[in-house]
A and B are shown apart, each in its own frame.
Chain A
Amino acid sequence: MRLIAENLGGERGGETVFSGIGFAIEKGQALVVTGPNGSGKSTLLRVIAGLLPKAEGDVRIEGGGETFPTIASACHYLGHLNAMKTALSVTENLRFWRDFNGDGPLGVEEALETVGLGGIGHLPFGYLSTGQRRRAAIAKLLVSHRPLWLLDEPTAGLDKASEARFAGLMAKHCAEGGIVVAATHLPLGIEGMELRMGETG
């Protein structure tokens, strides 16, 4: 499986944010997208996911087979927002996404323990702190299987220990043949290619 972008361009409100982006990521590799605020990191991820139309060029997935023919079907998108309901408990939220996206490598309880939230699944999501919410959203990546992870500032709000744990999760995902594309301005602690945005203009 490969993720390929050719001469990709994106725009926001009719204004070009980036253009001429090209990369090819093999399975097991990670791409870290860095750059200052406003350089188009989030836009790039949304364009890759297909949530925003691409202004030019092409991005596609190859070798996904019948299960993952398109990027949308092959990806987990973790945006700025956690996509969890504050009125429901953490377990209810995760169980819903597991049902909706299909079964994954881990069960809900195991996933929560993996991100260090074991034993608080019964709490409403709204009661959690910012970092705990982010970790619960990361647990969402584990309850359903997708080969491609699109992560937008995944470690925002995480403490050092959680960051390290999450770096381990990303490394494990890559080792199992997955692809990670992460936009960040913090060091993520994973080996990978780097795409710097907003420099060539």
Chain B
Amino acid sequence: MSGRTEGGAQAQASQIMLALFLRDIRLSIRAGGGALTGVIFFLAVIATIPFGVGPDLKLLARIGPAILWIGSLLACLLGLDRLFQADREDGSLDLLVLGNDRHILALTVLVKCLAHWAGSVLPLVVAAPLLGLFMNMEPLSIGATALTLLVGTPAITFIGAVGAAVAVALPRGGLLISVLVLPLTIPVLIFGVSASYGAVADPDPFLQPFLILAALTLFLAVLGPVAAALALRHGTD
């Protein structure tokens, strides 16, 4: 009997979280959402590189994975300030925080992060193979980079959520979030890029850095939302 009610509560919780996920996805697609902004910024960064570096196709192919990673890292940071600020400005954040007693705030934050990732960052991962062509990258290299981006970018969102939660009350906190978050994302960048290179440059390993990248994402999926929830809980005013 108690097992059944527990199962019911779990089903209810997943429904609640699905509703939150769908709402945030809808918001990111509708006017004023961040889905396109990031992709256009990403495109602008990558399209500029060949002009700056020059027409050396071999060099472009060699730096391609690193440039794709740096470009998507910066594009990820671009939309992060709206993660909680939009909810704070219209008062929704108060109600999300009040919901803490029914469904843990960290879970709410996790779902918001996942929705943010799916709405604003996944388009970057999808665009990355196309932009890889701009950098004259090999198909294998493009595939490896896209795969590492798919696995690694959630970690950036989870770290960013902490920054966004800390800076939620600050007007124009976007820059502060970038400064706070960027140093913490360096490990993700390092392992992401080294796994991308490992797939094409023969003596370098692919699997080890890739697994560390996956581990970072999983670890931060727990730590990020818990820390962000703590910051939000004490940041209401």
B10-29 vs A, Cβ < 8 Å mask (1 yes, 0 no):
00100110011001001100
Determine whether the beta carbon of A97 is less than 8 Å from that of B95: yes
Determine whether the beta carbon of B15 is less than 8 Å from that of A81: no
A130 at the interface (CB under 8 A from B): no
A52 at the interface (CB under 8 A from B): yes
**Which partner residue on chain A sits nearest B101 by CB separation?**
A73
A101: chain B residues within 8 A (beta carbon): 95, 99, 102
Task: From B12, B19, B30, give the contact of A96 (CB < 8 A).
Answer: B19
CB distance from A13 to the nearest CB of B (A): 9
Chain A, range 51-88, C-beta contacts under 8 Å to B: 51-52, 69-70, 72-73, 75, 77, 79-88
A115 at the interface (CB under 8 A from B): no
Determine whether the beta carbon of A88 is less than 8 Å from that of B95: no
A96: chain B residues within 8 A (beta carbon): 19-20, 23
- Cα–Cα, bound, A100→B15 (Å): 8
A179 at the interface (CB under 8 A from B): no
**Which partner residue on chain A sits nearest B102 by CB separation?**
A73
- Cα–Cα, bound, A4→B94 (Å): 22
Determine whether the beta carbon of B30 is less than 8 Å from that of A83: no
**Which partner residue on chain B sits nearest A146 by CB separation?**
B98
**Which partner residue on chain A sits nearest B33 by CB separation?**
A87
A191 at the interface (CB under 8 A from B): no
A50 at the interface (CB under 8 A from B): yes
A113: chain B residues within 8 A (beta carbon): none
B31 at the interface (CB under 8 A from A): yes
B85-97 vs A, Cβ < 8 Å mask (1 yes, 0 no):
0000111101101
Task: From A80, A88, A100, give the contact of B91 (CB < 8 A).
Answer: A80
CB distance from B1 to the nearest CB of A (A): 15
Counting chain B CB atoms within 10 Å of each CB, the highest count among A84, A100, A102 belongs to A100
**Which partner residue on chain A sits nearest B108 by CB separation?**
A100
B55 at the interface (CB under 8 A from A): no
Chain A, range 95-130, C-beta contacts under 8 Å to B: 95-97, 99-102
Size bracket of the B interface = 20 to 34
A26 at the interface (CB under 8 A from B): no
List 9 other contacts, CB 8 Å, given A51-B98, A81-B89: A49-B94, A49-B98, A72-B98, A79-B91, A82-B91, A83-B90, A87-B27, A96-B19, A100-B16
- Cα–Cα, bound, A88→B98 (Å): 22
A69: chain B residues within 8 A (beta carbon): 101
A85: chain B residues within 8 A (beta carbon): 23, 27, 90, 92
- Cα–Cα, bound, A186→B100 (Å): 32
Determine whether the beta carbon of A92 is less than 8 Å from that of B90: no
B27: chain A residues within 8 A (beta carbon): 85, 87-88
Counting chain B CB atoms within 10 Å of each CB, the highest count among A82, A92, A96 belongs to A96
Determine whether the beta carbon of A72 is less than 8 Å from that of B92: no
**Which partner residue on chain B sits nearest A73 by CB separation?**
B101
B94: chain A residues within 8 A (beta carbon): 49, 51, 77, 79, 81, 83
Determine whether the beta carbon of A51 is less than 8 Å from that of B97: yes
B99: chain A residues within 8 A (beta carbon): 100-101
**Which partner residue on chain A sits nearest B32 by CB separation?**
A87
A-B contact pairs, 23 of them (CB 8 A): A49-B94, A51-B97, A51-B236, A72-B101, A77-B98, A81-B90, A81-B94, A82-B90, A82-B91, A83-B90, A83-B91, A83-B95, A84-B90, A87-B27, A87-B30, A87-B32, A88-B26, A96-B20, A96-B23, A97-B95, A100-B95, A101-B95, A101-B102
